[in-house]
Amino acid sequence: MKHIYLIRHAQSEYNEKGIFQGSLDSELTPLGYIQAKLLSLAFKNKKIDVIYSSFQKRALKTAIFLSKALNKEIIIEPRIREISFGELEGKNFIQMFVEYRDMMISWSKDPLENPLPTQESKESFLKRVREFIDIVKSQKHEHIVVVSHGGFIHGFIMETTGFRAPLWNIHTDNTGVSKLRLVNGRFYIEYLNNTCHLL
């Protein structure tokens, strides 16, 4: 049996400012550093064999806190980066709904089926999600941490559990932890978006 902890990165400056982020990057906020520290304290006594992290700064800096607490090296995995949302990245999220109302409403209902201009394709995104699932399945490690992004985490959960719904129907807060178990080739959800470490 494998235990997989899917962790969204701590709060970034773009999160705080309401900027549409995707493939762009920004530093953690002071609150983000506190979130990452509290997350690491919650994991300090857990049995963890390996830490995977997206190369994007907001995820990697969150993973570094876990790495120090657990004394485990980080494996940087490009497949678990956030979806690239295309040419609208960098804009204020609320302003986007003002300027592109119909398009943004359609996108928010199902971002993979109603992509934004130059957004990463559904096929490309799901290909790398499935490739990483194969990595998780085939490796020897039983206790796995994955520090990634909301879009990727939601895609991973949908693909492993068969939960079929638009991507944003699953919510993940900054440093929210979702845990899956892999038993006899099947994935099961133990919990979603646990933020008790922030209380």
DSSP 62-88: HHHHHHHHHT--EEE-GGGSPPP-GGG
Is residue 19 over pLDDT 80? yes
Going by pLDDT thresholds of 50, 70 and 90, the confidence category of residue 42 is very high
Is residue 1 over pLDDT 80? yes
Q: Which amino acid is at 154?
A: H
Is residue 164 over pLDDT 80? no
Task: Report phi then psi at 100, rounded to 5.
Answer: -130, 55
Enumerate the active-site residues: 9, 149
Domain boundaries of the chain, sorted by first residue:
2-198
Question: By percentage, how much of the chain surpasses pLDDT 90?
Answer: 93
CATH architecture of 2-198: 3-Layer(aba) Sandwich (3.40)
**Residues forming beta bridges with residue 3, ordered by sequence position:** 143, 181
Q: What is the dihedral of CA 154, 159, 164, 169, to 10 degrees?
A: 0
CA separation for the pair 144, 47 (Å, rounded): 9
Q: What is the pLDDT of residues 134-158, one digit of tens each?
A: 999 999 999 999 999 999 999 999 9
Q: What is the pLDDT of residues 79-135, one digit of tens each?
A: 999 999 999 999 999 999 999 999 999 999 999 999 999 999 999 999 999 999 999
Q: What pTM did the predictor assign?
A: 0.96
The crossing angle, in degrees rounded to 10, of helices 57-70 and 30-43 is 40
What is the DSSP secondary-structure string of 114-126? SPPTTPPPHHHHH
